Amino acid sequence: MSRRGKVLVVDDDQTVLELIKLYCEREGYEVIGMNNGDLVLPAFDRENPDVVILDIMLPGKDGLTLCRNLREIRMVPIIMLTAKGEEADRVLGLEMGADDYVSKPFSPRELVARIKAVLRRTQPVDTLTNWKVKYPGLEIQADTRKVLVDGEETGVTPREFDLLYYLAQNPHRVFTRHELLVAVWGYDYFGDQRTVDVHIRRLRTKLAPLPYEYLTTVWGVGYQFTPPVKEGETTS
């Protein structure tokens, strides 16, 4: 089967490594596995993976530290592996820049589905489609997956980009957290809906230089993208 992408898997459980490798290779992915956090950064630079599967508890550098380190190098999609019930670790992983998480024990088929989804959504779009969204001070380029704030590129993770682009294409429409999870995460997502809150919070920080609050909370419902109202216009 032809190569569909390169997956870097980091977990100190050899059984987990072999299971992920087996299922990913069945789908045509090339897999690099390692069991020590201290080996990850050199391998990341050498192998240039398309997606990283990262356990939190590791010998050497822990997964949360590595997630932050990887984000400083390149905005590759990162899926964290967390022990079931460790909500604090899941939220902290998302705060560090992870795009998604899977709780152990996990279904390898579900993990592969998430890998497929995140890789599909990080591919450049056809430039003949609606590939650029512009608002005062904000430009979102779907073809290059770049976000410009006051003309300067700001680094966003793949999932942050997907979320911002989706909301910006639907201004003033209010979405529930579940609707955003299904639409942006690319499959029927059964995870913690706080995932959306964390991504919105990170995006707000990155859009903070703008004098407008583009991402607004609709209490008791969810979120909406709210462009500034021009003089003489109304939002009704």
How high is the pLDDT of residue 183?
83
How high is the pLDDT of residue 232?
44
How high is the pLDDT of residue 3?
59
Select, from the ranges 33-37, 154-158, 189-193, 229-233, the one with the highest average predicted confidence (pLDDT).
33-37
Given a contact cutoff of 8 angstroms between Cβ atoms, the answer to whether 55 and 10 are in contact is: yes
The domains of the chain, with CATH numbers, are 6-121 (3.40.50.2300), 132-225 (1.10.10.10)
Greater pLDDT, 121 or 15: 15
Mean pLDDT of the chain: 85
Identify the band that residue 85 occupies on the pLDDT scale cut at 50, 70 and 90: low
**Is 87's pLDDT higher than 70?**
no
Give me the mean pLDDT over the 57-61 stretch: 92
Identify the band that residue 82 occupies on the pLDDT scale cut at 50, 70 and 90: confident
Give me the mean pLDDT over the 65-92 stretch: 82
Reported for 30-33, long-range contacts at CB under 8 A and 24+ positions apart, including other chains, are 30/3, 30/5, 30/6, 31/6, 31/7, 32/6, 32/7, 32/8, 33/9
pTM comes to 0.71
